[in-house]
Structure 1
Amino acid sequence: MRDFLKGEDHVPYQLPGINFFQGTTTTIFGDNWFSWRVPSVIFGMLSLLVFYKIFCEYTSERNALLAATILSFDTIFFVHSSLFLRDVPLMFFGILSFYFYIKKKYYFAAISLGFAFLIKETAIFFFFLIMINHLVINRKWDLKLHDIKKVLIFLSITSISFLIPLWGYDIIYQPIIYEPMIVTQELPDGREGAISYPKIKVMESRGYIKQIPVDVVTNPIEHLGVFLSKGYLSSEAYKTKNWDTVSTNFPHNWVLPIPLPQNANGLGVINEKTFDDTYNGILHIGKILRVEWRGDPNQALWIVGFWSTVGLITHGIIKKQEKTTLLLISGIISMYVPYLLLQFTGRVMFPYYFILTIPFISLGIVLTMDKIKHNKLRIITKIIFLIIVIGWFVVFFPLKLF
């Protein structure tokens, strides 16, 4: 982010969309914790609102509110809605695109989807979501030139919304291409471990390593070439063989009732320390507590919610309840199944990737409980499950102070 404000880009293997928001808040409010976090907080709240509006298209407002509330207490969703990470802004623009789609505002859907691509490549999952719904809803088409034209216009607007801003960014910033793009270091056991960019800057300042610039990016084609050939997707450093993998590094385990591995899902730690500093001419003296950010799954929601949703989908197929069944099955196929397949490429997976599936299983569990015919029992079951989800959140709160 600080490089972005200086007009530099040293990591063209990441898409730059989030920097536009983060750079704006940092310019307005300064380089501080508030500026770095507030965009994710805002996008988290907006995502909840859009999901609520979508849920209302498939169930009652009360059920939609309960599903959105359950989503808000998921530990992964919470931590990603409070840190400078790309997944929640991506989620907002992606699901906003789907909302515009179901409201038949196709131009807005395409523009929103294009900007989602500018933030992170997993925007492709929301494209899958829209395409699955579109193909199933219109499966009885007598395919005509007009229908093909509409699809091509949608794809064109999406591409323009993605490529034109990226082109302007590349012309202004000219991101630097290094060789290698992702720096690695040999671990004691012989594996190649990736070095994060902030750590690279520290190591360079101390003369331990030196990245060699070989070229600059000047257009989106070059940018996408670097992204595909030199980034996370292709780097050997992000292969399973180069990581100390645990059970939660494998997507099929995200929805199985297995114990969480100890200390495996940490997102960062700040150790306790004293400080004596002058900021804006004011002397600050005190102590920073030890803070740890956790990325543990909310198993109460993930496991029960996922399998309840699968059961509801099965019931919906048998009873031919197409509308709700289509939303849930397309959500799981689009957001979760790709990771089940990608693990066979050897790419290491992390449990927070499940964040895009959580909204669909939040709705799925609520609709499953809504099948209980006895009114009082149905209400009690919903209250108990909400308490369990909140209880898990409290016990495994993703921000721990010591």
Structure 2
Amino acid sequence: MHTDDTRYKALIRQWFNGGESDDEARELHALLQDSGRYPELMSALEAEYGSLDVADFPEARAKALAGQITGSPVVERKGRVRFLRGWRLAAASVALVVGVAAYFWSVREQDQGAPAGGAEAAIQPGRQGALLTLADGSQVSLDTVQNGTIALQGGVAARVVNGVLTYEGDGTEIVYNTISTPKGRQYHITLPDGSGIWLNAASSIRYPVSFAKGAREVAITGEVYFEIVAGKARPFTVLAGDKARVQVLGTRFNINAYENEKYLAATLLEGKVRTIPGRDAAKAGVILRPGQQAQIAGTMPSGISVTDNADIEKVMAWKNGLFNFNGATLAEVMQQLERWYDIEVVYENGVPDKKLTGKMTRDIPLEGLLLGLQELGVNCRLEGRRLTVLP
């Protein structure tokens, strides 16, 4: 047995029993900040399932979550009231608690067996996949393609290598492809110049299969993360509909341009970009520094505003396999769930004025996630793929 696995089990056992030391609580908190540790944590949780006091678990979980949301430094466990410092609340985080909720839900489903005839299957989380539209208009589903040549266009071969779409060869003509992800899908491609592109759910990018010598230009919808290969002689430009033009020299940045968001957000992680409202390349726009976010909306007097010290972790959560709901309104959370789980969200009596906090992995079934949200005071009714948010 690996030392890490043994340590994870000990930390989880101590946390649920309420016997962890200050150092152990800090250690668990640090682990929860690393999404790469979640599989090991969940594996350790599964191994410890039989020894956990599950009779008290739901109340303990609810109390811990309530403490995070309200800031109340109290959590009750096994008849005791414990006073917690700020970092201890973080250790009782949504990331683990909702993962635990999902785990217990999955165990319950396994114990009950497969759905009976006519019963609906659980709504699974999104996964890798996309639709590729070739230059001749034909379409190829990439949902299950891991390796292989897809097409030869204008002297360039489109190939999938280990689940990533790539382009090889020198183009003899300028032809365009479009990658689109429906709800419940995300995808990674490598552009002809070697730049990496990641599409969130319900997004698209249109691009040439080989770039001309003088410029590189693509058009997007939805949310896309870019890692652009530098090339001063060939500036890179991203068009986000009629909302914005982003001009780039080698850099890493994210653009959220969903139509149902209140503004377009361009967030710079590394390098330098010029963000221009609209499509007019002659406008001066705003040059961003790393850590800044440009927000563009028609309701803004100048059309654009800049936020310093953007929450990069929150912006990039989708690419890192997480939901990050820190400071998010309930409406914003539900928009993310609509896109990732391919569901329709409606409100029975208006949108509740509620903000959430915490992180959770994006790889759990919807029903497991709803268990966690219920403990946050968000009550819903799921009928098929229609989720009704109750008052």
TM-score by length of 1: 0.20
The higher-RCO structure (CA 8 Å, 6+ apart) is 1
Which one has a larger percent strand, Structure 1 or Structure 2? 2
TM-score by length of 2: 0.20
